[in-house]
Amino acid sequence: INLNMIYLKTPEEIALLRASNQLVGKTLAEVAKHIRVGVTTLELDKIAEDFIRSNGAVPGFLDYGGFPNTLCISVNDQVVHGIPSNYALKEGDIVSVDCGTLLNGYYGDSAYTFCVGEVDEKVKKLLKITKESLSLGIDSAQHGNRIGDIGYAIQKHCQAAGFSVVRKLVGHGVGRNLHEDPEVPNFGKRGQGVLLKEGMVIAIEPMINMGNRDVVQEKDGWTIRTIDRKPSAHFEHTIAIRKGKAEILSTFDYIEEVLNNK
Ligand code: MG
Ligand code: MG
């Protein structure tokens, strides 16, 4: 990694990144309202696109590298980068919804894995542990620590629960570009890797598998799924590094308000 490629953000830029990321959180909450048995992932995509545009922003993933939609929607054994389709959600599915926005020149990026109806206890545990690991990763993401501290915290928590960490895909810097340096792996060693500095903005996004950590890409050229077809979970926040605890620029608050009232 070329350290010169890591852009430290000013407070003004962080305010713009916060606004874009808050819109992602609100968009995911709109999607959450509509997640139920029978809804197609393409219907969810349309809801998100309309909401983002009505808020003066542009979908961040649409046309990014040729991606055809607003959301990446990945069901069950799909890990990330699933393409919305006519697939109708079924009782017991888990569905990772990853959303990006571009607002006033700055990107937002956040993801949440939802349950459809009643989900198997072991799968629920996978979601719980993955979400907890994101919080632990964020706790480690402080000025003066290193990238490896983040991955270490995530990996330790997930492996202790018997789950595995996807290694082929990683988190990333966020700014005027959706994907900036540094890479943010969900595995690592304490004290190793890029030094974290106040003003860095990164997306931390554990992708955690119930079974084998290996993944493959489907023939559609996008969808990543587990090699053993067991389920995978994905949660993502975009954060700003500070001295002390990082500031979470994205939010799950709006999503969880919806889920708690369902
Ligand atoms: Mg994302
Ligand atoms: Mg991301």
Q: Each residue of 184-200: pLDDT tens digit? A: 999 999 999 999 999 99
Residue with tokens 């961040």: 60
Q: Per-residue pLDDT averaged across 51-77, rounded?
A: 98
Q: Per-residue pLDDT averaged across 222-249, rounded?
A: 98
Residue with tokens 């620029």: 249
**pLDDT higher than threshold 80 for residue 201:** yes
pLDDT of residue 5: 84
| Residues pairing with 131 in the sheet | none
Q: What is the pLDDT of residues 102-119, one digit of tens each?
A: 999 999 999 999 999 999
Q: How far apart are CA 247 and CA 240, in angstroms?
A: 5
pLDDT of residue 4: 58
Q: What is the pLDDT of residues 148-195, one digit of tens each?
A: 999 999 999 999 999 999 999 999 999 999 999 999 999 999 999 999
State in Å: Cα 243 to ligand 2 middle: 23
Q: Per-residue pLDDT averaged across 196-219, rounded?
A: 98
CA 71 to chain centre: 11
**pLDDT higher than threshold 70 for residue 1:** no
DSSP states of 77-107: TEEE-PPP-SPBP-TT-EEEEEEEEEETTEE
- Confidence band (pLDDT; 50, 70, 90) for 71? very high
State in Å: Cα 111 to ligand 2 middle: 8
For residue 233 the two structure tokens come to 């979970």
Q: Per-residue pLDDT averaged across 29-54, rounded?
A: 98
State in Å: Cα 122 to ligand 1 middle: 24
pLDDT of residue 49: 98
DSSP states of 145-210: SBHHHHHHHHHHHHHHTT-EE--SS-EEE-SSSSSEEEEE-SS--TT-SSBP-TT-EEEE--EEES
- Confidence band (pLDDT; 50, 70, 90) for 2? low
Ligand having the closest approach to the CA of 180: 2
**pLDDT higher than threshold 80 for residue 3:** no
Bridging pattern class, strands 164-165 and 244-248: unpaired
The proportion of the chain whose per-residue pLDDT surpasses 70, expressed as a percent, equals 98
State in Å: Cα 98 to ligand 1 middle: 5
Hey, is 112 helix, strand or coil? strand
State in Å: Cα 11 to ligand 2 middle: 21
> In terms of residues, how long is the chain?
262
**pLDDT higher than threshold 70 for residue 222:** yes
State in Å: Cα 115 to ligand 2 middle: 21
State in Å: Cα 218 to ligand 2 middle: 19
- Confidence band (pLDDT; 50, 70, 90) for 238? very high
- Confidence band (pLDDT; 50, 70, 90) for 54? very high
